Chains A and B, each alone.
Chain A
Amino acid sequence: MADEIAVAEPTILDTFIELLPEIGKAAGETGLMMVICLTAAIIVGGALGILVFLTSQGQVLGRYRRFNLVANGFINVFRSFPFIILLVAVSPFTRHIVGTSIGPLAASVPLSLAAIFYFARLIEQTLRDVPRGVIEAAEAMGASPLQVVSQVLLVEARSGLILAVTITAVSFLSYSAVAGVVGGGGIGDLAIRYGYYRFQTDVMLITIVLLVILVQSIQFFGQWLARRVDKR
């Protein structure tokens, strides 16, 4: 009996332990890509989303209609690209700024680009939930456009903004797996390389379970935080 167990196929736990260094490396790569692309999305995409919102019709900077049209078109164009095509299309640009077009750092460039426009659109829509009357009240009290943004929009929409970051994080965790085609690495790439291409179902399972846990945690934490700051 005991002998039989000893020669048995390695269990999924054995595979997991064996794969641990690989998983650790992949988690680090995923972390790097996520930090870079989320930071870019929040700073650049956030600013772009706010500007598009402010310049939309009937808003504080509604007179800058031309900017609104151009920025909107820009967002739509970038959001139209299938991610894998964007990945390849921007590779000369990537090489220009990172020095190489492979690896997690290189993959962060197209990821960031996609995340910026994705997040900008989300933010623009989230800000629409702030009642016009509240913005108007701030204007009537003498608030400048910058104060309207920092004191009214970001405060009143804060739970929606947190949810927008949450959705972006989950989406781009998934996108980052595609970055494997340029050697981006990461957990998703691990699933594809070992699990899918090498038919190692147990490896695929492990990585997918990891991704599920990751997504659940992001979602749970995001929603918890959003609820906590919402006093409406």
Chain B
Amino acid sequence: MIRPVQTAHNTQNSAFPRMTTQTSDAPAIALRGVSKSFRTPDGQQVGVQPTHLDVAPGEIHGIIGFSGAGKSTLLRIANLLERPDAGQVIVHGQDLMTLSPAALRTARQRIGMIFQHFNLLHNRTVADNVAFPLRIAGADEARIAERVKTCLEFVGLSEKAGVYPAQLSGGQKQRVAIARALAPEPHVLLADEPTSALDPRTTQSLLEVLADVNRRLGVTILLVSHEMGVIRRLCHRVSVMEAGQIVERLTIANGRIPPDSQLAQWLRDFGDAEGDEAGTDDTEAAPQHLLSEAAHG
């Protein structure tokens, strides 16, 4: 018998109290000197240089950079989908690198993840998709039913419980993916280009869901995006990556990028990759509104 999730939850909680119950300066995610190198078929060296990254409990931390900068690799290191060549990966005080495969699986149950292409199970209903991480953890059916209901309500898709993902729009699929990630009550949520496959309007409403996840549930979010708009509307802090390194770390106050930063310079030089916000000093109403909702503290 596999331990039910509730038990795993409790044991983890006693060892690593959630930031809501105890204010602590310990980061929710700490990547210490992690590096990962790949060799592309044409012999080019890519990946992540030895890098440090601290994500404070309760914050939404963005990673931005051009394609191939290593931002997705860095994100995937945070739950060891990508095992770094060196360094420490500490999530809620636990160094994932030192865990046995079984212990790593238990730890991963508390680290939610969403993807650019949603990665839902197509032959399972929405409800079964949300139930999936709980079933894997051996939770009992009563708890599964309760969590599925709660999480689908949270993302506003209760009425879609019985349909298959093929019948949903892209935005709805990503909401299901968020509900699935939330089902085991994770401490942190890793988001890999969560809006890059969505249109701007769907992106907007999805960012509101993510802001809600952070604000109402206190979940720390580490998010990778190449869309400046997403970073500005959602993130409290941002790390800028280039050639496998974090070249700049910025705090985003009221959706503003500090004008003397390298990132601001890039935006002036290249504009936004998506072209929706070319400048750094505009004051759009919608993002401001969203950000004030999302602001923590």
| Residues in B neighbouring A151, C-beta threshold 8 A | 132, 135-136
| Residues in A neighbouring B108, C-beta threshold 8 A | 139-142
CA distance A151 to B294 in the complex (A): 36
A145's nearest neighbour on chain B, judged by CB, is: B101
Given A137-B113, A142-B109, A143-B105, is A229 in contact with B123 using a C-beta cutoff of 8 Å?
yes
| Residues in B neighbouring A133, C-beta threshold 8 A | 115, 117, 119
Given A142-B106, A142-B133, A147-B136, is A137 in contact with B119 using a C-beta cutoff of 8 Å?
yes
Residues of A190-232 whose CB lies within 8 A of B: 229-232
Residues of A123-155 whose CB lies within 8 A of B: 131, 133-134, 136-144, 147, 151-152, 155
Interface centre among B119, B137, B166 (most CB of A within 10 A): B119
B130 to chain A: closest CB distance in Å?
Answer: 11
Chain A CB within 8 A of B289 CB: no
B109's nearest neighbour on chain A, judged by CB, is: A142
Docked-complex contact B81 and A231, CB < 8 angstroms:
no
Chain A CB within 8 A of B124 CB: yes
Docked-complex contact B105 and A142, CB < 8 angstroms:
yes
| Residues in A neighbouring B166, C-beta threshold 8 A | 231-232
Chain A CB within 8 A of B143 CB: no
Docked-complex contact A136 and B81, CB < 8 angstroms:
yes
Docked-complex contact A141 and B119, CB < 8 angstroms:
no
Chain A CB within 8 A of B121 CB: yes
| Residues in A neighbouring B55, C-beta threshold 8 A | none
A134's nearest neighbour on chain B, judged by CB, is: B119
Number of A-B contacts (CB under 8 A): 70
B71 to chain A: closest CB distance in Å?
Answer: 17
A132's nearest neighbour on chain B, judged by CB, is: B119
Contact with A136, one of B109, B119, B124 (Cβ below 8 angstroms): B119
Give the interface size class of chain B. 20 to 34
Contact with B137, one of A142, A152, A156 (Cβ below 8 angstroms): A142
Docked-complex contact A140 and B113, CB < 8 angstroms:
yes
Chain A CB within 8 A of B122 CB: yes
Chain A CB within 8 A of B154 CB: no
CA distance A216 to B110 in the complex (A): 50
Docked-complex contact B123 and A141, CB < 8 angstroms:
no
| Residues in B neighbouring A156, C-beta threshold 8 A | 121-123
Chain A CB within 8 A of B79 CB: yes
| Residues in B neighbouring A134, C-beta threshold 8 A | 119-122
Chain A CB within 8 A of B63 CB: no
Docked-complex contact B119 and A131, CB < 8 angstroms:
yes
| Residues in B neighbouring A139, C-beta threshold 8 A | 81, 108
Chain B CB within 8 A of A158 CB: yes
Residues of B117-156 whose CB lies within 8 A of A: 117, 119-124, 132-133, 135-137
Contact with A141, one of B102, B117, B136, B164 (Cβ below 8 angstroms): B136
B186's nearest neighbour on chain A, judged by CB, is: A141
Docked-complex contact B123 and A232, CB < 8 angstroms:
yes
CA distance A140 to B106 in the complex (A): 10
CA distance A138 to B136 in the complex (A): 9
Docked-complex contact A158 and B123, CB < 8 angstroms:
yes
Interface centre among B101, B108, B136 (most CB of A within 10 A): B136
Contact with B121, one of A140, A155, A229, A230 (Cβ below 8 angstroms): A155
10 shortest interchain CB distances as A-B pairs: A137-B119, A142-B108, A142-B105, A142-B109, A141-B133, A232-B122, A231-B164, A133-B119, A140-B113, A231-B123
23 contacts between A and B (CB under 8 A): A131-B117, A131-B119, A133-B119, A134-B119, A134-B121, A137-B119, A138-B132, A140-B190, A141-B136, A141-B180, A142-B104, A142-B105, A142-B106, A142-B108, A143-B136, A144-B105, A151-B136, A152-B121, A156-B123, A230-B123, A231-B123, A231-B166, A232-B122
- If A136-B115, A151-B135 are given as contacts, then 13 extra A-B residue pairs at C-beta distance below 8 Å, sorted by A number, are A131-B117, A133-B115, A134-B120, A140-B190, A141-B109, A141-B133, A141-B184, A142-B104, A142-B109, A143-B105, A144-B105, A155-B124, A156-B123
Chain A interfacial positions (CB closer than 8 Å to B):
131, 133-134, 136-144, 147, 151-152, 155-156, 158, 229-232
